[in-house]
Amino acid sequence: MYSLNWSYAHSLPKSTAYFKYTPEDFQVNEFFNTPFSGAGEHILIKIEKKGLTTLEVIKSLAKLVNKPPRAIGYAGLKDKYALTTQWLSIHAPGEEIPGIEQISATGWRILEHTRHHKKLKPGFLAGNHFLVRLREVSDEKDLLERIGRIKEYGVPNYFGEQRFGRNINNLLKAEEMLVQGRKIKDRFLKGMYCSAARSWIYNLILSRRVSQQCWDIPLSGDVMQLHGSNSIFVVDSPDNELFKRIKDRDISPASPLPGKSKNKATDEALKLIEDIYADWQPWLTGLERYGLEEDWRANILHAEQLTCDIIENTAELTFSLPAGAYATAVLRELCLYQDKLS
């Protein structure tokens, strides 16, 4: 029922490789489109972490600065098994934290700090820069050929496996909550399980479109999403101008994250969605019961500034992705990788 074998846009990779021999093999650094204000009620700190989740760092930091965890904000969650940098905000109106630049604990340290007039929240982040090392690459030629195709066409914008938890535990918990009626008191966990359920159904719809070779082209009645925006519009009948805008990366066909107020799509696009929905009605009912509104996510993911250097069977990749996108969506189209840490 919970197969992670989603369809490949560029066929099954020929090469195998190892990923995350060490945390340094997966480096992630946040970036924002607008600078911080330099003044305001919130102290912003840039942290480097390794071997910890973002939430574990927040709990550690809260104790050290004598603040409740809810006073600390973040713009994105970062992988535990990686070397990452990210910004956190500490609500401290009219306060200074003496020696803040020296504050650290096992697994994390502060690199710099400033102030800002807003608490950091999911949605503020523009994206992430990645450095990824793939070791023991078995077919360098195939990997490099795929780099070229990905630069030109992009990859399906799948949610990564980590979205569904270790051994798909988040999906199992989502089923208990949405279908079996189990009560979850923790607000964060409820949100995480609902997100896992919606992401799962989105991936199934996208995988169907990939298998039918229509993930990156418009169908009649399709929903299109503007690049870098949540703005969407519905296409009655695709034309040449629409294909050009997709090629120019101005828009992308989109697939739904299910919830209330659904069925913006019509015609061919709606039929494809409803074919998937037919098998997940109890989940859809549960998501609506929890008040989730339908949202849309672009089908096409482009890795910007993608580079690849291969030395002695180790491929070092660098690229940038928008917030909410997964590096593993790119890697799965490059090779059959084995994760050594996660």
Has residue 109 been placed in a domain?
Answer: yes
For residues 225 and 231, give the distance between their C-alpha atoms in angstroms, rounded to a whole number: 6
Closest CA to 118 of 148, 61, 73, 179: 73
- Say whether both 241 and 278 belong to one domain: yes
Has residue 151 been placed in a domain?
Answer: no
Has residue 3 been placed in a domain?
Answer: no
Taking only the tens of pLDDT, the chain with its 342 residues reads: 788 999 999 999 999 999 999 999 999 999 999 999 999 999 999 999 999 999 999 999 999 999 999 999 999 999 999 999 999 999 999 999 999 999 999 999 999 999 999 999 998 999 999 999 999 999 999 999 999 999 999 999 999 999 999 899 999 999 999 999 999 999 989 999 999 999 999 999 999 999 999 999 999 999 999 998 889 999 988 999 999 999 999 999 999 999 997 668 999 999 999 999 999 999 999 999 999 999 999 999 999 999 999 999 999 999 999 999 999 999 999 999 999 887
Has residue 48 been placed in a domain?
Answer: yes
Q: Is 336 exposed, middle or buried (0-12, 13-18, 19+ CB in 10 A)?
A: middle
Q: How many CA atoms lie within 13 A of 283 on its CB side?
A: 22
| Residues with catalytic roles | 79
Asked if 71 and 91 touch (Cβ cutoff 8 Å), the reply is yes
Dihedral over Cα of 190, 191, 194, 197: its sign: negative
* Pair of tokens at residue 263: 């069925």
Domain range for 287: 156-301
Pairing of strands 336-339, 16-19: parallel
- Say whether both 181 and 136 belong to one domain: no
- Say whether both 294 and 313 belong to one domain: no
Query: Which pTM value belongs to this model?
Result: 0.95
For residues 83 and 268, give the distance between their C-alpha atoms in angstroms, rounded to a whole number: 44
CATH code for position 61: 3.30.2350.20
The number of folded domains in the chain is: 3
Has residue 4 been placed in a domain?
Answer: no
Pairing of strands 26-31, 83-91: parallel
258 Cβ contact partners less than 8 Å away, ≥ 6 residues apart: 198, 201, 202, 277, 280, 283, 284, 287, 292, 294
